[in-house]
Structure 1
Amino acid sequence: MTESAYVRPEASRPRDASLSDWIAVIGGALGALLATLDISITNSALPQIQGQIGATGTEGTWISTGYLMAEIVMIPLAAWLTRVMGLRRFLIVMAALFTLFSIYCGLSSSLQEMIIGRIGQGFAGGAMIPTAQTIVRSRLPNHQLAIGMSLFGLTILLGPLLGPVLGGWLTENSSWRWCFFLNIPISAVLVTLLWSGLKPEKANLQALFKADWAGIAGLTLGLSSLTVLLEEGQREHWFESSMIQWLAIGILVGFALIAIGQCKARQPVIRLRLLANPRYASVILIVAVIGAGLYGVSYLLPQFLGNVSGYNAQQAGSIMLLSGIPAFLLMPVLPRLLGRFPTALLVSLGLLLFSVSCLLDIYLTADSVGHDFYASQILRGFAQVLAMMPLNQASMSAVPPEEAGDAAGLYNMARNLGGSVGLALLGVLVDRREHAHDAVLRESISANSTLGQEHMAQSTSMFLSQGGDFALAQLQAMQQLADTIAREALVMTYADCFFVLAFALAATIPLALLLKAQPQGKRS
C-alpha cells in the first residue's frame, strides 16, 4: 500500500476550527451580547435617569430611541466599513468607542449629554451585531457552523432579556450610572479576545474613495427618519405633526438616494439584490415578523405587569427572564438539532409555538399576576430558540461567503426594523382599542343597569362606613367604578394585542417552506 493511500483519508477529513477561530467567535458573540444588552438595560432605570438629568417622561424616551436609531443605521454600514478598515481594526475601534460613549453616558448630567452618548453607543454597538455573524460564517467550517450560529443566536435572545433585570438590580442596589460603567470591564475582555482571535488586515482606502456615497447618505437619512417616525408617531398624532411630516419627507429622500446607489454604484453599500434569492428573502421576511414579536412581547408584558398587576421593574424583569431558560436547556443539543432536522421544520415549529404562546395570553384578567405568565413565557422561550437559531444559520447558508457581511447586515437590520414597525403598530392598536373598549364598557354600565346600581350601592356603603360622608362616599364609589372600567379596558386591549401578534406569526409559517436546506457541497 502506497503512502498516498494513508494520506487520502486524512486529507478528506473536514478541517476543525482552530483555537484562534473560537476566540474570534467568542469575541464576536460577546460584542453582540454587549450591544443587545444595552438596548434595554436603561429601560428599568429610566425613572431614576430622568429624575437626575431633568427630563420629562416624553423626553426620556429619546434615551432609548437615540440608541435604536443609531444602531439601525450602523448595522447595514458595518460590511462596507469592514472592507475599508479591516475586520480586527474596525471592531476594536468600535469597542473602544462604545466604552468611551458608555463612560460619557454614565457621567451625563443633562438630557442632551445623555442622548449624544446613547447615539454614540448605538452607532458603535450596531457594528458588533452583524460582524459577529460574519465572523462565525468566515472562521468556522461547515460542520461546526451550527455551534457558532447557536452561540450568536443565544446572545441575540438573552441580551434583551437580561437588560431590564440587570438594569433594575443595579439601579435598586447601586446607581443607574453602573448600567453604563458595567461596560468598561466587559469591553476590556472583548478587545483582548478580538486582538487575539482576529488577524490584522490592511486598510482598503480605495473602498473609501469609491464608496456608494449616495447610498450611505440615503441609508443614514432614510433609516434614522423612519426609526424616529415609528417611535414618535403615535405620541405626535402622526401626520398632524409637522415633525412627522418632515420625517416622512426625509424617508422618501433617503430611500430615493438608496435606489440611485443601487443603480449607479459598482458596489452598493447595501446589497438589496440579495433579496432576489427566494430563500434569503424568506429569511428576511420571517425575521422581521419575529422581531415584531420579540419587541412586542418585551413591551406588552412589562406594561401589563406594571399597570395591571402592580409589579416594579425588577419583578417584571424576572418574569421576562423566564423565556431565557429554554435557551440554556437546549444549548447542549441545539447544534445537533440544527444538523439533524430540516430548517423549514424547526422554523415552522418555532413560529407555531410562538403563536400559541401569544394565544395563551389572550385570556388574561385584571387579577392575573406573574405566575399566570409562566406557561406562555417558557413556551415562548422554546419557540424563539427553535425559530431564531435555524434562521441565523439559513441567512448565512443562503449566500456565498464573500457576501456574508452584507447578508448579516440586512438580516439584523430587518429584525430591528421589524421590531420598530411592530412597536409602532402596537402603540396605535393600544391607543385605539383601549378607547373603544372603555366606551363599550361605559355604555353597558348605565344608570339603569342593575349590575351597575348594585355595584355602586355596595361601594358607597363600604366607603360610607369608612368616612361617614354620603356625598364623598358616592364620589369615591364612582371613581372606583371608573378605575375598574379603565383597568378592564386595558386588559382587553392587551389581549387584542397578543392575538394580533399570534396571527402575524402564524401567517409567516408558509414562508418557512422555502427554507430548504442547501446541499452541503454547494456551501463553502
Structure 2
Amino acid sequence: MASAAINTGDRSAPSGGGQRADASAWLAVAAGTLGAMMATLDISIVNSALPTIQGEIGASGTEGTWIATAYLVAEIVIIPMAAWLERLLGLRTFLLLAAGLFTGFSVLCGLSTTLSMMIIGRVGQGFTGGAMIPTAQTIIAQRLPPAQQPIGISAFGITAILGPVLGPLIGGWLTENISWHYAFFLNVPICAILVTLLLVGLPHEKAKLQLLGQADWIGILGLALGLGGLTVFLEEGQREQWFSSELIRIMFVVMLVGFACIAWGQIHARRPIIKLSLLLDRQFGSVALMGVILGMVLYGTSFAIPQFLAALADYNALQSGKVVLLSGIPSLFMMAIVPLLLKTVDIRIAVGGGLIIMALASLIDSNLTAQSVGHDFTTGQLMRGVGQILTMLFLSQAVVRSVPAVDAGDASGLFNAIRNLGGSFALAGISILQEQRVWFHSRRMEETLNANRGAVQDYVNGMEQSFGQAGSGIALLAQQVQQEALVMTYNDIFWIMGVGTLAVLPLVLFLKPLPKGAGPAMVH
C-alpha cells in the first residue's frame, strides 16, 4: 500500500546506506503510522457495534451497510489524489488539515442521531482518513535512509493489517462498556497526539497553489459522481426494485456521467487523476483484479462475521470483535519475517498460496448452522490471516515493480483505490444477497412444509402444547424458517467469496518474479 512521494529538499531520505535517521525523522514516521492506524481502524470500528448504532439512529439492517460503505467510497476518491495534494499544500500542512478535519467528522459521527447525519460524517472521515493512509508510506520513503526503511515498512504493514481487525474489537469494547459514541470520540485524543508529532517531526513547506490549475478537475468530478452513483445504485437497487425506481434511474445516469468524465480526463488531461491505462498492462491488470478480491474478502468478512454472530448467536459487540481479531494474530507474527519472505519466496508461490488459503477459509465458513458460535470461525479466521498477509504483502510489491518507475505512484494509488472498491462491492453485495437469498431460501423451505402433512401438524401442535398458547406453533415455525434462511444466506456469502478467490488464482501466472534478493520496494 504505497503511494507516490516527491523527494524535495531537506525532507528527502539520506542516500547513503550507512546513514541513520535522526529523532525528528522517527517522530515523523510515528506520526504517519499513527495516522494510518487511525484511518484503517475507523474503516471497521463500526462493524461490531452496527446493530446497536442502527437501533439508536433508526436504520434498518440493509441501510446500516451505508455506515461502512460511505467511508470506503470516499477513500477510493481521495487516495489517487493524495500525491497531488501533498505537492499542492506541502506534506505537513496537508496532514495537519486532514487530521483536523478527520477529528471534526469523527465528532459529527459520535453525535449522530439520524442515518443521514451519520453518513455525512462517515463520508468526511473517509475523505480525510484516506489521505493519511498513503502519506504514511511517503514519510517512510522520504525520511528514512534505505537501510532503515524495512523497519518503517514493517511498522506500516502492521497498522495496515491490524487496523481493520482491531476496529471491531475496540468498537465492541467501547460499545459494551461505555457507549458506541466513543468509538468516534476516541479519535480526539489520538489526533491531538498526531498533530503534536507532525509539528515536531515534519518541516513546513510552502504551498504550490499554481498546481490548482493543472489538476484533472473533470476526472476528480467523475470519480465522485461515478463511484458515488455506482454505490447508491448497488446498495439501493434491490430495495427500490431497480429501474422501476426514479432514484435508481437517476443514480444510473449519474454513474454514467461520472464514468464519462473519468474517460474524458484519461484522454485530455495532462496528468489524469487516476491513470487507468495502467490496467492494460497484463501484469498490473492481473494484480488489480486480485486486489479487488483481496478487498472483498478483507472488508467483507470483517463485516459479515459480526452481523452473523449478532443475529444468530446473540453476541454483543465486544464478543464479535474478539472473533474478528483472530485473523490479525498470524498477520502480526508474519510481519516480523517480511524481509526474509521477500528475498526467499517466489511471488507466484506466495500469492497463489495466499489466495488458496483465503479461499479455503471462506469455504470452511460456508458450513455454518443455526447453532454456530464464535469458536466455529476460529480455523477460518486464522487461515484467513495467513492468506491475507501473504497476498497483500507480495501484491503490494508487484504493484511497484510491474510498471515503469515513473508510473509507480499512480499504480500504487490505483491499486489502493481498486482494493477499497472491492470492499465496497462486497458490502453492497452482502446487502443485496441478504434481501434476495433470505427470501429465496425461506420460500423454498415453506414449499416443503405442507400444512396437511401429519408431521407438520404434529410439530405445530407440540409447540403449542409446550408454550401453552394457541397459534404459537405457527409463529415459532415461521421464526425457525427465517432463521435457517438467514444461515443459508451467510453460507452463500462465504461460498461466493471462496469461489471468487479461486477464480482469480490463474492470474498468478502473469506475475513476474521479484529481483533476486530484493528488499521491500518503496515509491519515491
- TM-score normalised per structure 1: 0.88
Q: Aligned equivalents of 2:407 and 2:144: distance in 1?
A: 16
Query: What residue in structure 1 maps to residue 310 of structure 2?
Result: 306
**1:179 and 1:251 mapped to 2: Cα distance?**
33
For the residue of structure 1 that corresponds to 2:162, the secondary structure is: helix
For 1:106-505, what aligned pairs fall within 5 Å after superposition? 106-108=110-112, 112-139=116-143, 147-400=151-404, 402-449=406-453, 451-463=455-467, 467=468, 472=470, 475-505=471-501
Q: Which 10-residue stretch deviates more, 99-108 or 261-270?
A: 99-108
Match of 1:101 among 65, 82, 105: 105
Structure 2 contact 343–517 (Cα < 8 Å) conserved? no
Deviations 1:348-403 (A, max 9, x none): 11110000001111222111111111111111111111111222232233345554
The answer to whether the Cα contact below 8 Å between 2:75 and 2:129 also exists between their aligned partners in 1 is yes
**Structure 1 residues 196-205 or 305-314, which shifts more?**
196-205
Work out the CA distance in 2 between the residues paired with 1:17 and 1:408.
27
CA contact (8 A) 1:72 1:224 kept: no
Deviates more, 1:125-134 or 1:354-363: 125-134
CA contact (8 A) 1:222 1:250 kept: yes
Shift of 1:227: 2.5
Q: Which moved more, 1:378-387 or 1:338-347?
A: 338-347
CA distance in 1, matches of 2:473, 2:375: 30
CA deviations 1:77-122 (Å, max 9, x no partner) are 2122122122222122211221232234334555554443333222
Q: Which amino acid aligns with 2:21?
A: S
Stretch deviating more after TM superposition (155-164 or 56-65): 56-65
**Is the aligned partner of 1:519 residue 2:515?**
yes
Shift of the 377–12 alpha-carbon distance from structure 1 to 2, 3 Å rule, reads closer
Counterpart-to-counterpart distance in 2, 1:448 and 1:334: 64
Match of 1:7 in 2: none
Quote how far apart the aligned CAs of 1:49 are: 4.7
Counterparts of 1:121 and 1:402 in 2: how far apart (Å)? 30
| 1:85 maps to amino acid | L
- For the Cα contact (< 8 Å) 1:134–1:405, is it kept in 2? no
| 351-360 or 18-27: bigger deviation | 18-27
Separation in structure 2 between the aligned mates of residue 262 and residue 337 of structure 1, nearest angstrom: 37
Q: Which protein has greater RCO, CA pairs closer than 8 Å, 6+ apart?
A: 2
Native 8 Å contact 1:274 1:280 kept in 2: yes
2:21 is aligned to: 18
Counterpart residue type for residue 410 of structure 2: D
Structure 1 stretch 424-433 or stretch 434-443: which is displaced more?
A: 424-433
Question: Cα offset for 1:180?
Answer: 2.1
- RMSD (Å) for aligned C-alpha atoms: 2.9
Cα 1:308/1:83, change in 2 over 3 Å: same
Q: What residue ranges of structure 2 are gaps of 5+ in the alignment?
A: 1-13
1:510 is matched with which residue? 506
Higher alpha-carbon deviation: 289-298 or 185-194:
185-194
Shift, 1:502, TM fit: 0.6
1:30 aligns with 2:41: no
CA 1:423–1:115 in 2, change beyond 3 Å: closer, same or farther?
A: closer
| Distance (whole Å) between structure 2 residues aligned to residue 17 and residue 236 of structure 1 | 59
Instruction: Normalising by structure 2, report the TM-score.
Output: 0.88
The answer (yes or no) to whether the contact 1:230–1:420 under 8 Å persists in 2 is: no
Structure with greater helix share of residues = 1
Q: CA separation of 1:48/1:293 partners in 2, compared to 1, >3 Å: closer, same or farther? A: closer
Q: Give the 3-state SS of the residue equivalent to 2:326 in structure 1.
A: helix
Q: CA deviation at 1:46?
A: 4.4
Provide the rounded CA distance (Å) in 2 between the counterparts of 1:13 and 1:76.
31
SS in 2 for 1:362: coil
Residue 76 (structure 1) aligned to one of 74, 80, 87:
80
Q: Give me the identity figure in percent.
A: 52
CA shift digits 1:259-296 (9 cap, x unpaired): 11111111111122322333322221111111111222
Q: Aligned equivalents of 2:285 and 2:511: distance in 1?
A: 10
Alignment gaps of 5+ in structure 1: 1-10
Q: Comparing 376-385 with 15-24, which one deviates more in the overlay?
A: 15-24
Structure-2 separation of matches of 1:364 and 1:60: 23
Report the alpha carbon displacement of residue 241 of structure 1 after superposing the two structures with TM: 1.9
Contact 1:343 1:515 in 2 (8 A): yes
Post-superposition offset of 1:507: 1.4
Q: Once structures 1 and 2 are overlaid, which stretch shifts more, 195-204 or 52-61?
A: 52-61
The residue matched to 2:210 in structure 1 has which SS? helix
